[in-house]
Structure 1
Amino acid sequence: MVTVWVVYESMFGNTRAVAGAVAEGLRDWAWVEQYPVDTVPPDLIGVDLLVVGGPTHAFGLSRPSTRADAQRQLGDGRVVTDRGIREWLESLADERHTPPFAFFDTRVNRPRVPGSAARRAAALVRRQHGSVATRPVSFWVTGTQGPLVDSELDRARSWGRSLSTVVGPGLGRPVG
């Protein structure tokens, strides 16, 4: 059976909810483990696909300053992770076994608002000579803190199911 890890960064809970829905869809065809980015095990051996998601902050991946801003917006004492998707992906640059990636993000559903954490993450992985198995996907929130636009969790489950087409018969080799 194919092994897929869903790794996510979430500030306000929207990306975590999408990650959970994607994992549900993946479970139709794969063994799935789900990790917040600050708890991902270091050994990727045996992982056939990494599905990675994060919130779009300042037109791209979060940084320490945008995570600090999110923590201020929360205003309830919850601690936002120090290590985001950007830092985790950069730490994989010297990894011997890196499976193909599929990226998603959450972003505000407004016309002409540029930027995508998923597209930035895919570009970072490509620069590190990693494999991106499919086009990045965005899931929409109504405002900075959410909530998710209606039906986005259904769309996330469907996208998770569809990822079976990007893992070829050789397991871990992108198709197409």
Structure 2
Amino acid sequence: MRIVIVYESMFGGTEKVAEAIAEGISVSVPAETVNVDDAPKDLDGVDLLVVGGPTHVHGMSRAATRKSAADQVCHATRSHTGLREWLDALGPVPDGLPVAAFDTRADKPRVLTGAASLGAAKRLRRLGCRVVAPAESFFVGTEPVDAGPRPGELARANAWGAALGAALRRTTV
């Protein structure tokens, strides 16, 4: 069984969340994390795809928002390509591929921040995928801008991953 978690991460927070999700899934089924820069364009043989990225201006990042984020720090960003661009560049996706989406965002009401996971899930449905879990947000600190996941969020991501893995195992056994 092949579980792939594709993430976009500017400062490392989303990467840490993706790794925590992978650890949770791996309790049931091995999972691999892949930076969107290196993500496969062919998803044949993938049994569950999980995608995640930071929320920028109420949704998935764009080239301009990634540049703006990069300009706020003195170090290189983790991803150079966006989840939006990767999803748009995918070839045919196996019909009904099970998928789930997550994002990282500021800990404020979603009406104020938006959620990149909602747009990702919508694009995946349009590609013919089957969303198997509601889109999930994990909170990151904003002071400093690259503060990383808020306390407790990695444990929550791990639990979300464990629930995904357990559900997948129940449906394939």
Specify if TM > 0.5.
yes
Give 3-state SS (helix, strand or coil) of 2:58's partner. coil
Task: Report the alpha carbon displacement of residue 71 of structure 1 after superposing the two structures with TM.
Answer: 1.1
Task: Report the alpha carbon displacement of residue 128 of structure 1 after superposing the two structures with TM.
Answer: 2.7
Residue 118 of structure 2 corresponds to 119
More helix by share: 2
Letter in 2 for 1:152: E
Q: With structure 1 as the length reference, what TM-score do the two structures score?
A: 0.87
Residue 163 of structure 1 corresponds to 164
Q: Does 1:40 align with 2:64?
A: no
Residue 134 of structure 1 corresponds to 133
Structure 2 counterparts to residues 93-104 of structure 1, below 5 A: 94-97=91-94, 99-104=97-102
Give 3-state SS (helix, strand or coil) of 1:160's partner. helix
Task: Give me the whole-angstrom Cα distance separating, in 2, the residues matched to 1:67 and 1:116.
Answer: 16
Letter in 1 for 2:17: V
Task: Give me the whole-angstrom Cα distance separating, in 1, the residues matched to 2:77 and 2:168.
Answer: 36
Contact 2:106 / 2:113 at 8 angstroms: preserved in 1? Answer: no
Task: Give me the whole-angstrom Cα distance separating, in 2, the residues matched to 1:136 and 1:158.
Answer: 14
Structure 2 counterparts to residues 25-104 of structure 1, below 5 A: 25-76=24-75, 78-79=76-77, 81-92=79-90, 94-97=91-94, 99-104=97-102
Task: Report the alpha carbon displacement of residue 14 of structure 1 after superposing the two structures with TM.
Answer: 0.5
Q: With structure 2 as the length reference, what TM-score do the two structures score?
A: 0.88
Contact 1:53 / 1:118 at 8 angstroms: preserved in 2? Answer: yes
Task: Report the alpha carbon displacement of residue 167 of structure 1 after superposing the two structures with TM.
Answer: 2.6
Gaps of 5+ in 1: 172-176
Residue 174 of structure 1 corresponds to none
Residue 150 of structure 1 corresponds to 151
Task: Give me the whole-angstrom Cα distance separating, in 1, the residues matched to 2:140 and 2:45.
Answer: 34
Task: Give me the whole-angstrom Cα distance separating, in 2, the residues matched to 1:155 and 1:81.
Answer: 23
Task: Give me the whole-angstrom Cα distance separating, in 1, the residues matched to 2:152 and 2:10.
Answer: 20
Letter in 2 for 1:124: R
Q: Once the two structures are superposed, what CA deviation does each residue of 1:79-114 show, in whole Å capped at 9, x if it has no partner?
A: 55342110111122x414262211010000023523
Task: Give me the whole-angstrom Cα distance separating, in 2, the residues matched to 1:160 and 1:170.
Answer: 15
Question: How many residues are matched?
Answer: 168
Residue 6 of structure 1 corresponds to 5
Q: Equivalent pairs: percent with the same residue?
A: 41
Gaps of 5+ in 2: none
Task: Give me the whole-angstrom Cα distance separating, in 2, the residues matched to 1:167 and 1:33.
Answer: 15
Residue 107 of structure 2 corresponds to 109
Give 3-state SS (helix, strand or coil) of 1:89's partner. helix
Q: Once the two structures are superposed, what CA deviation does each residue of 1:44-89 show, in whole Å capped at 9, x if it has no partner?
A: 222100011100001100000001111111223x155342110111
